[in-house]
């Protein structure tokens, strides 16, 4: 079976007339007709992929799970996410047409080294790592030419870790970024495209470096910023008292501080330049906000800034995303207070007018003081 046919045999429904095989034959497992998928790493993501494939994949699909953690592997087997468990990743990939590496990022290189000699000719290898550039380089250096590597990153997850938190529906509606190397056979890309679609995700192609730059802003920056925020507040001498007052706002805002520490560490190590870039920009934004807050003469401007952010965030939550939102941003600049009733509602509009009146009154008062002082 060539790799173009592999997508069909896995039930992923992608075939192109021009699909080029990686190799003429690929073993689908056990010498029989049943396709075989091996998932290395049976934590939250790996087990969720397995459950999704069990629910929506082809009949007869054999899923092999491999994990350094015996507890994770055993839990994945007990919840019927995987059919076979093998703690040796090299043995686990034998006969697999598709190999999914769902381990922490810094473990992926070692996994590739462990399985390289055992991969079937024509097999497709993908991953679920949160950064992509380093992983793409490792694949090019380590994996044999008779297999195809197609990077992947499902943009879904939880702060809870482990297979017990897994859900077969975890990827429904999520983006699944695909970062294929140059000259990879189209049939191999079809396999990963199909995997994403079967799991309910929306595939999106990106360059590995482009991916790392973007996720540094929308995923890694929030993780690191919230970690810093929680550490700062937690280190305060007043924390025992403040912790009694902290409620849902603080918990929701600092939720990402509960991210698995190994994953957070690996993200920082493999995307440090981009993360630091966005942390520096974040510091600049905080300094700008500090200035606005401290300037008593700019209260209307502060209100405008907060209102713009509120409206833009609301639009984002309502699904206003993508290039159209950037090119045709109707909420980029708020109108004057007289038009706000139409957009913001009466309460916010009245608050804006009040801010404007207060600012004008202060200016008038200062002008009177200046004139009075001048006559003295």
- pLDDT tens digits for 91-119? 999 999 999 999 999 999 999 999 999 99
- Render pLDDT for 291-307 as a digit per residue (tens, 0 to 9): 999 998 888 889 889 98
- Render pLDDT for 143-157 as a digit per residue (tens, 0 to 9): 999 999 999 999 998
* 172 and 250 belong to one structural domain: no
Neighbours of 78 (CB within 10 A): 12
Q: Is the pLDDT of residue 375 over 70?
A: no
**Under 8 Å between Cβ of 93 and 38:** yes
99 falls within a domain: yes
pLDDT of residue 184: 94
Q: Phi and psi dihedrals of 271, rounded to 5?
A: -140, 35
d(CA 209, CA 262): 22
* 104 and 188 belong to one structural domain: yes
**Under 8 Å between Cβ of 157 and 294:** no
* 227 and 322 belong to one structural domain: yes
* 54 and 161 belong to one structural domain: yes
The pTM (predicted TM-score) of the whole model is 0.78
Lowest mean pLDDT among 18-22, 297-301, 307-311: 18-22
d(CA 191, CA 243): 49
Beta bridge partners of 111: none
Residue identified by tokens 């941003």 is 329
d(CA 160, CA 41): 15
Domain span including residue 243: 211-370
- Render pLDDT for 224-258 as a digit per residue (tens, 0 to 9): 999 999 999 999 999 999 999 999 999 999 999 99
CATH value at residue 354: 1.10.3660.10
* 167 and 282 belong to one structural domain: no
Mean pLDDT, the chain, as a whole number?
Answer: 85
Lowest mean pLDDT among 74-78, 186-190, 213-217, 336-340: 336-340
pLDDT of residue 345: 54
376 falls within a domain: no
- Render pLDDT for 62-90 as a digit per residue (tens, 0 to 9): 999 999 999 999 999 999 999 999 999 99
191 falls within a domain: yes
pLDDT of residue 6: 54
Residue 351's Cβ-count burial label (10 Å; 0-12, 13-18, 19+) is: middle
* 56 and 76 belong to one structural domain: yes
**Under 8 Å between Cβ of 228 and 259:** no
248 falls within a domain: yes
Length of the chain: 376
* 133 and 222 belong to one structural domain: no
Q: Phi and psi dihedrals of 150, rounded to 5?
A: -130, 110
Residues 6+ apart with CB under 8 A from 157: 44, 45, 170
Identify the band that residue 349 occupies on the pLDDT scale cut at 50, 70 and 90.
low
Boundary residue ending a domain (180, 206, 232): 206
**Per-position b or e across 214-229, b if 16+ CB within 10 A of its CB:** ebbeebbbbbbbbbee
DSSP 178-195: EEPPTT--HHHHHHHHHH
Q: What is the largest CA-CA distance in the chain?
A: 103
* 108 and 248 belong to one structural domain: no
Boundary residue ending a domain (206, 241, 273): 206
180 falls within a domain: yes
pLDDT of residue 160: 81
Q: Select from 206, 40, 59 the least CA-distant residue to 110.
A: 40
- Render pLDDT for 37-68 as a digit per residue (tens, 0 to 9): 999 999 999 999 999 999 998 888 999 999 99
375 falls within a domain: no
81 falls within a domain: yes
Number of compact structural domains in the chain: 2
178 falls within a domain: yes
CATH value at residue 33: 3.40.50.720
């Amino acid at each position: 079976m060539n790799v173009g046919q592999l997508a069909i045999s896995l039930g992923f429904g992608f075939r192109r007339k021009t699909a080029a095989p990686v190799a003429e034959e690929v073993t689908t497992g056990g010498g029989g007709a049943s396709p075989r998928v091996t998932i290395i790493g049976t934590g939250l993501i790996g087990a969720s992929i397995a459950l999704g494939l069990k629910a929506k994949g082809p009949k007869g699909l054999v899923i092999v799970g491999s994990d350094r953690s015996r507890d994770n592997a055993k839990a994945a087997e007990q919840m019927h996410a995987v059919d076979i468990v093998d703690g040796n990743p090299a043995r686990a990939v034998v006969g697999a047409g598709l190999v999914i590496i769902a381990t922490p990022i810094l473990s992926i290189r070692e996994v590739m080294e462990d399985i390289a000699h055992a991969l079937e000719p024509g097999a497709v290898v993908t991953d679920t790592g949160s950064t992509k550039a380093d992983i793409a380089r490792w694949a090019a250096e380590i994996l044999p030419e008779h297999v195809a590597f197609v990077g992947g990153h499902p943009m879904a997850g939880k702060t809870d870790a482990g297979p017990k938190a897994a859900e077969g529906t975890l990827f429904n509606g999520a983006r699944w970024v695909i970062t294929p190397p140059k000259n990879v056979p189209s049939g191999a890309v079809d396999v990963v495209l199909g995997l994403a679609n079967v799991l309910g995700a929306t595939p999106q192609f990106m360059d590995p470096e482009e991916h790392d730059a973007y996720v540094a802003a929308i995923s890694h920056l929030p993780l690191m910023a919230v970690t810093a925020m929680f550490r700062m507040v937690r280190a305060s001498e007043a924390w025992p008292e403040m912790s009694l007052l902290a409620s849902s706002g603080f918990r929701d805002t600092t939720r990402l501080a509960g991210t698995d520490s190994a994953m957070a560490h690996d993200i920082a190590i493999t995307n440090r330049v981009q993360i630091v870039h966005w942390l520096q920009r974040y510091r600049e934004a905080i300094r700008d906000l500090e200035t606005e807050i401290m300037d008593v003469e700019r209260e209307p401007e502060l209100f405008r800034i907060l209102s713009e952010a509120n409206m833009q965030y609301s639009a984002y939550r309502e699904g206003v995303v993508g290039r159209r939102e950037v090119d045709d941003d109707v909420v980029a600049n708020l109108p004057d207070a007289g038009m706000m009733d139409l957009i913001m509602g009466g309460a916010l509009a009245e608050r804006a007018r009040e801010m404007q009146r207060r600012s004008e009154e202060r200016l008038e008062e200062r002008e009177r003081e200046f004139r009075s002082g001048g006559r003295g």
